[in-house]
Amino acid sequence: MAQPTQVDIGPFSVGGSCPHFLIAGPCVIESEKLVMETAAAILEIARGLSIPFIFKSSYDKANRTSISSFRGLGIAEGLKILKKVKRELGVPILTDIHEVHDVSQVAEVVDVLQIPAFLCRQTDLLCAAAKSGRVVNVKKGQFLSPWDMANVVNKLQEAGTSKIFLTERGASFGYQNLVVDMRSLPVMRNLGYPVVFDATHSVQLPGGGGTVSSGQREFVAPLARAAAAVGCDGFFMEVHPRPEEALSDGPNMIRLSELRGLLEQLQAIWQVTGKGEISPLT
């Protein structure tokens, strides 16, 4: 399997022979205090383990199950807080975009524009993100096969960017359930770009709580270990100090106090398997 293209993100690079990296943070920006404290704590853990770290949180979660669910602090306040994280902690920033008209404003602040899974085929949004000059992370839709992501990659390339990585987050399996086909990781890496495994959304139960999504946090670690063994370039994990109090995606977020232990397990697997280069069996 060919090595994916190397992509530069802030002070480090991902893909190719670069080290595994981590994208982590609370699902949604609940407050400046929560974001700053969580980002600082994750950064300390990542630095201690020599893992390149990108902070993630959303200023708006536009696809919440219920119209009454908390969506975030909005673009103005949210970007102000993300800018503070970047300035004070010196870490790259990733956040979701949902509308073409938000792209230029968000791109002024963040390093990585993330296309949510439900929007991964939205051509105008993909092209606007590609033309922004920022790195683009596309989450594979729950309704797509991994090889279907070739069309998504082609849209981004045609719009003028090669600063791309792709994220696996499970596939719909009946109603309100997701499963992960681990073949997706090498299949998407063969498209030529770094691939990330989203360990927390992969255990989500969409709409499983009626007016909210539910999740099975107990399966985050087993799936993450499996993905590390199969091979990927990085991990996406939503992390919260108190998931039971979180305003979005609490049931599938990792407890901050458990993050270091899980990353240490993944590092041990990386030392054995690397990024999962596959050689034909004879």
Task: Give the model's pLDDT for residue 251.
Answer: 87
Other CB atoms within 10 A of residue 96 CB: 24
Question: What CA–CA distance (Å, rounded) separates 199 from 273?
Answer: 18
Per-residue exposure over 111-142, b if at least 16 CB sit within 10 Å of its own CB, e if not: bbbbbbbebbbbeebbbbbbbbebbbbbbbbb
Residue with tokens 């536009």: 62
Question: What CA–CA distance (Å, rounded) separates 66 from 3?
Answer: 41
With 50 as the cut, is the pLDDT of residue 92 above it?
yes
Residue with tokens 């458990």: 258
**What would the pLDDT profile of 175-222 be if each residue is shown by its tens digit?**
888 899 999 999 999 999 999 999 999 998 876 666 556 778 889 999
pTM: 0.94
Please give the share of the chain, as a percent, with pLDDT higher than 70: 94
Residue with tokens 């991902």: 14
Mean pLDDT along residues 228-238: 96
CATH of domain 7-11+19-270: 3.20.20.70
With 50 as the cut, is the pLDDT of residue 282 above it?
no
Which pair of tokens denotes residue 197? Answer: 């495994």
Task: Give the model's pLDDT for residue 212.
Answer: 57
Task: Give the model's pLDDT for residue 279.
Answer: 47
44/5: higher pLDDT: 44
**What would the pLDDT profile of 129-177 be if each residue is shown by its tens digit?**
999 999 999 999 999 999 999 999 999 999 999 999 999 999 888 888 8
By CB atoms closer than 10 A (0-12, 13-18, 19+), residue 261 is: exposed
Strand (E) or helix (H) holding 87: helix 75-89
Domain residue ranges of the chain, discontinuous segments joined by +: 7-11+19-270
Mean pLDDT along residues 106-132: 98
Question: What CA–CA distance (Å, rounded) separates 97 from 113?
Answer: 7
Q: Which amino acid is at 88?
A: E
Task: Give the model's pLDDT for residue 45.
Answer: 98
